[in-house]
Amino acid sequence: MKKPTVKFEDGKYVLNKYQSFYVDEDAVEQDLLREIKFPVLIMDTEFFNRSHDPKPNDSGKKLYSDDEPSMIYTLCYSIANSYMDLANRKNKKSISTLYVRRKMNKADFNFKKEMDRMLTTFVNICIAKNIRTLVFAGESNDVKILTNWINNHSNLLNNKKQELFTRNKQTRQLEINTFDIYKTLEKGFSFSDFTTEGEEFYNPKNLKKGIMGENTIQIPSLKLFFDYFKEYYKDKFEEKNGIYELCKDALTFYSTDSFASEKQFQEGIEVIREVRKHCRNDVLKLLYLINFMYVFGVLSNDQAKESGNNKNYEKILHWVW
């Protein structure tokens, strides 16, 4: 792994000869210090829907429905009580996984029942840990699915003291306090469009222009962020198959009535194992990204104020890399 070095020059953070980035510290602080309420649960889900069905128009068995068009089958999460909690712990060991379990010889397997059991466990964890914010990297699908589900199971919140779920006064529908970290990544950080070797990192026509600096880009995804910093993070997050294909295979696994052989069943189990690995990787990436944002958007600004605008990173860089 490349030993990280960072310099602050001409209003930007310089990583190497070619790569640098700008930070809007006010925007980052507004999000991280005011909008996100601790304790937080940082999470990712994997789900399937009609788009993953190899035969969406046939009349065979369907797990999804008009009432529940998307079904979560794997959920990974990490709980934190503060940003310093995130910065000082071993984040790999902080991630937990919930997923729909299936046994080969269980003839009465009911996916919906098992999914409801998994999500009930998740909601109870949120209540027990007094979670106030769910943090995602790209939340639109996850939040829509979870909001739909909790409104169909609102009895779980009866007589429970909690701040995560609130009822909209106009619609009377339950809402979830969530935060999409991509919002902060896009408006708070602008990156030079180069690799460590000086080549173009990404076609600028396919990305939004950076808000700060000249010829900069916004990086709108975990994948692109870790591609940009691949020389700096020791975790390579290697995976054998893409998540879309894995979700298609998972839908087949969970919708199969019975398995012709032990081999067929074990192949399905291996798919779910790969999905869990992918989901855990995304949560770990999200934890690393939050640390990056906190160090360069909040702590480095505090360091500057304390030392007369002389930004010293020796004490804080180990929280990033």
Q: Tell me, what's the pLDDT at 307?
A: 46
From the list 295, 297, 298, 299, the residue with the least C-alpha distance to 319 is: 295
pLDDT at 305 over 50: no
Q: What integer is the mean pLDDT of 256-260?
A: 91
Domain locations in the chain?
Answer: 7-319
Q: Tell me phi and psi for residue 175, to 5 degrees.
A: -125, 155
Percent of the chain at pLDDT exceeding 70: 92
The backbone region for 198, taken as left when phi is positive above 0, alpha when psi lies in -120 to 50, beta otherwise, is left
Spatial distance between the Cα atoms of 141 and 46, rounded to a whole number of angstroms: 10
Q: What mean pLDDT is reported for the chain?
A: 91
Per-residue pLDDT reduced to its tens digit, 80-100: 999 999 989 999 999 999 999
- 98 HSE (CA, 13 A, CB side): 21
Is 14 strand, coil or helix? Answer: strand
| Bridge partners, residue 72, by sequence | 47
Is the pLDDT higher at 217 or at 56? 217
Tell me which of 60-69, 254-263, 307-316 is least confident: 307-316
Q: Tell me, what's the pLDDT at 271?
A: 98
Q: Tell me, what's the pLDDT at 303?
A: 60
| Bridge partners, residue 74, by sequence | 46, 99
Is the pLDDT higher at 317 or at 134? 134
Q: Tell me, what's the pLDDT at 60?
A: 60
Q: Tell me, what's the pLDDT at 27?
A: 95
Per-residue pLDDT reduced to its tens digit, 269-288: 999 999 999 999 999 999 99
User: Is 41 within 8 Å of 98 (Cβ atoms)?
Assistant: no
Spatial distance between the Cα atoms of 50 and 37, rounded to a whole number of angstroms: 35
- Tokens 């893409």 found at: 242
Level-2 CATH architecture, domain 7-319: 2-Layer Sandwich (3.30)
Per-residue pLDDT reduced to its tens digit, 208-251: 999 999 999 999 899 999 999 988 887 778 888 899 999 999 99
Pull the structure tokens for residue 321: 């890399």
DSSP string, 210-244: PSSSSSEE---SHHHHHHHTTTT-S-----SS-HH
DSSP string, 23-56: E-HHHHHIIIIII--SSEEEEEEEEEEGGG-SST
Spatial distance between the Cα atoms of 161 and 250, rounded to a whole number of angstroms: 36
Pull the structure tokens for residue 222: 């975990």
Q: Strand 165-167 vs strand 174-176: parallel, antiparallel, or unpaired? A: antiparallel
Per-residue pLDDT reduced to its tens digit, 181-205: 999 999 999 999 999 999 999 998 9
Q: Tell me, what's the pLDDT at 308?
A: 44
Angle at 76 between CA 80 and CA 177, to 5 degrees: 60
Spatial distance between the Cα atoms of 1 and 232, rounded to a whole number of angstroms: 6
Per-residue pLDDT reduced to its tens digit, 151-183: 999 999 999 999 999 999 999 999 999 999 999
Is 103 strand, coil or helix? Answer: coil
pLDDT at 41 over 50: yes
CB count in 10 Å sphere of residue 168: 9
- 116 HSE (CA, 13 A, CB side): 12
Q: Tell me, what's the pLDDT at 314?
A: 58
Which H/E stretch holds residue 281? helix 262-294
Q: Whole-model pTM? A: 0.92
